[in-house]
Amino acid sequence: MHTRLLGHGLEVSAIGLGCMGMSQSYGPNPGDRSDMIHVLRSARDAGVTFFDTAEVYGPYDNEELVGEALEPIRDQVVIATKFGWNIQDGTMAGLNSRPDQIRRVAEASLQRLRTDVIDLFYQHRVDPEVPIEDVAGTVGELVAEGKVRHFGLSEASVATIRAAHATFPVTALQSEYSLWTRDPEAEVLPTLAELGIGFVPFSPLGKGFLTGTVDTSTTFSDGDIRTRVPRFEADNLAANQELVAYVRDLAAQKGCTPGQVALAWLLAQSPHIVPIPGTRRTSRIEENAGSVTVGISADEKAGLDGLAQRIGVHGDRYNSQHMRFVNR
């Protein structure tokens, strides 16, 4: 596994692991916790050193799972987690990034993750009620105290990124980015390059769409987040098939999988991009890790870019309730 640098000092595997789906959002949760512990540890065996979680995943269950799984190999891995939600009785009740809340979350996350330091601490969503300078300053204090190593943002606008970075260095931005979610390209990616901030795309496989395993005949179980995502409505899925068909054909030519093409395309965008595909299966971890050896030529990249720009994407990536929390 190759490594990449986020910001000015956080070295991680070129492919990370998004752990959210092990505890929520993709149908019934795995019944045997030990299975997921095995998957997490097998990721390290495959060369993955970068693991992404958050207090709100569960809530709390995912941090506890990650902490238990990685405790024996803590010195070999980088753990990212997130603050920013007001969690009441196990559900999200709006945002809360007040300094005292950030500190409470940090202490609780340290306990659940079974560690004495959080490698990367993201603000999960920008809280318009709290100046970003106060947020960055508080995380900076936690860094000075040795409880956090690096500061990150998620789904933040360029103005917020600049204001935060001017207060305390931002190591990484995490936002959705893939062949069918190109929003960051116009303004965010150039800003990150200018400021020396790394980029961590979540849902780099389009919530499974870009693996070529989802079409209009696919049914999703109760609790699967895709039942609430407009892009996965039948009409939109049908309209979006042209893109995945192209990816599937290119993968066949290259002797790899569609998912590997999608991840290799992301890796080719910048040496400071580290995708974090999620999975519950060791076979997928091995497949995703293998994408680092799938080269994308300039012509192949241009073909993928041109097709995506020509056909566009049908359907929003979130429903209206969730869209109001992004790009603030």
- The residues assigned a catalytic role are 57
Question: How far, in Å, CA of 39 to CA of 46, rounded?
Answer: 10
Peptide bond into 59 cis (omega under 30): yes
Cα 29 to Cα 33, 62, 199, 223: the distances in Å are: 9, 11, 29, 9
Question: How far, in Å, CA of 313 to CA of 237, rounded?
Answer: 10
How many CB atoms sit inside 10 A of residue 65's CB? 23
**Do 170 and 197 touch, CB atoms closer than 8 A?**
yes
Nearby residues of 136 by Cβ (< 8 Å), 6 or more positions away: 151, 163, 164, 165, 167, 168, 170
Q: How many helices (H) and strands (E) does the chain have?
A: 11, 11
How much of the chain is helix, strand and coil, in % rounded to 5? 45, 20, 35
Find the angle CA(237)-CA(189)-CA(209) to the nearest 5 degrees: 20
Cα 30 to Cα 55, 67, 196: the distances in Å are: 19, 17, 39
Angle between helices 234-254 and 298-311 (to 10 degrees): 170
